[in-house]
Amino acid sequence: MTAAFIALLPVFIVILVGFALRKSQLIGEGHWAAVDHVCYFVLFPAIFFKEIVAADFSGIPVFGMALAMMLAVLIMSAVLLVLRRPLYKALAIDGPQFSSLFQGATRWHTFIAFAIIPIYFGPSALALGAVSAAAMTPLLNVICVIVISMLVAGQSPDARTILLAIVKNPFVLSTVGGVLWKILGLPAPAMGIQVLDMIGKGALGLALLTVGAGLRVDEAISARAPVLAATVLKLLVMPVIMAVCLKMFGVTGLAAAVAMLCAAVPTGSGAYVLARQMGGDAPLVANILTLQVICAALTIPLVLWLFGILA
């Protein structure tokens, strides 16, 4: 546990640096938004594409891993939706707030996961992170768009909205593009891979800083109960569900460990954007993400340590 904690400490130090930088106002608010935008639209798509295209997937249970991760997402979503009415009552929340709880409990922060993977599992494990992105991100996007729309507008979104949510997402485009490239057997010129690799290396540190800059500790917490619930669900319950699913599909070793990490990281920053666009409770998402990032400094090492012992 201590070893895992110390191994992950650098990630949280960099997040803290990002937080301190925003506080110091050395870099303006608008600049942070722009940097985040570029990580999201340019740099991370470059990483996903490169990792999938350049990876050697022989000997890796790619399909089992992908299916286990998709199943885990579906189970968490189903449980939350089935227990919706009791949750409304117990936590005293409304539809938009529930939609933020839902996003807070199901999504994952690729920036944090991808920063941890190379220092904890080694750079070659990034390919497994890209598999996770290809498996979970499109599915999560569709589910979240439908759930928010149902809860906020009271109706299922039309097919066009769902399609746009998939097609316009840069993570989906880059992972699906990478998978297609791989399946079609298109060439991966060494020079191109090298350039993408240089970009990727730069993106990880930059993205972590934006995570820190996005933390809002001084803001009043709008509703305490859903924030706590989402944090427990995401950081502790989601890894348990993931462990069960991985067991069911017989995924072991490094692939399983990376999948566990992707389950154990805080919710994604995309949740905030989606909540704002579709009328969910965006400030609540920000509260959830902030608490999750703080708690994750302890819970991620705990999850990785426990999984290492049990697996």
Residues 51-90 that bind another protein (CB under 8 A): none
Out of 159, 191, 309, 310, which residue is the one contacting another protein (CB under 8 A)? 191
- Burial per residue of 53-69, b for 16 or more beta-carbon CB atoms within 10 angstroms, e otherwise: bbbeeeebbbebbbbbb
Residue 15 or 238 with smaller CB distance to another protein: 15
Out of 1, 6, 164, 180, which residue is the one contacting another protein (CB under 8 A)? 6
Question: Taking a C-beta distance cutoff of 8 angstroms, is the pair 50, 200 a contact?
Answer: yes
**CA gap 134, 69 in Å, rounded:** 10
Q: Closest distance between another protein and the C-beta of residue 136, in Å?
A: 24
3-state helix/strand/coil string of 128-174: HHHHHHHHHHHHHHHHHHHHHHHHHCCCCCCHHHHHHHHHCCHHHHH
CA distances to 15, 134, 208, 269 from 214, in Å: 9, 25, 10, 9
Q: Closest distance between another protein and the C-beta of residue 19, in Å?
A: 13
Q: Closest distance between another protein and the C-beta of residue 126, in Å?
A: 13
Coil/strand/helix, residue 252: coil
Question: Taking a C-beta distance cutoff of 8 angstroms, is the pair 159, 288 a contact?
Answer: no
Q: Closest distance between another protein and the C-beta of residue 194, in Å?
A: 5
Residues 243-302 that bind another protein (CB under 8 A): none
Residue 31 or 224 with smaller CB distance to another protein: 31
Residues 28-47 that bind another protein (CB under 8 A): 28, 30-35, 37-38, 41-42
Out of 209, 251, 257, 259, which residue is the one contacting another protein (CB under 8 A)? 209
Binding-site size for another protein (CB under 8 A) equals 38
Q: Closest distance between another protein and the C-beta of residue 298, in Å?
A: 15
The count of C-alpha atoms lying within 13 angstroms of the C-alpha of 74, restricted to the half-sphere facing its C-beta, is: 9
Give Cα 271 to chain centroid, integer Å.
9
Binding segment for another protein (CB under 8 A), chosen from 7-15, 140-148, 176-184, 219-227, is: 7-15
Question: Taking a C-beta distance cutoff of 8 angstroms, is the pair 90, 223 a contact?
Answer: no
**What is residue 26's DSSP assignment?**
S
Q: Closest distance between another protein and the C-beta of residue 6, in Å?
A: 6
Residue 46 or 165 with smaller CB distance to another protein: 46
Structure tokens at 257: 């460990």
Binding segment for another protein (CB under 8 A), chosen from 53-61, 141-149, 190-198, 240-248, is: 190-198
Q: Closest distance between another protein and the C-beta of residue 54, in Å?
A: 14
Coil/strand/helix, residue 206: helix
Residue 163 or 195 with smaller CB distance to another protein: 195
Residue ranges binding another protein (CB under 8 A): 6-7, 9-11, 13-14, 17, 21, 26-28, 30-35, 37-38, 41-42, 115, 119, 191, 194-195, 198-206, 208-209
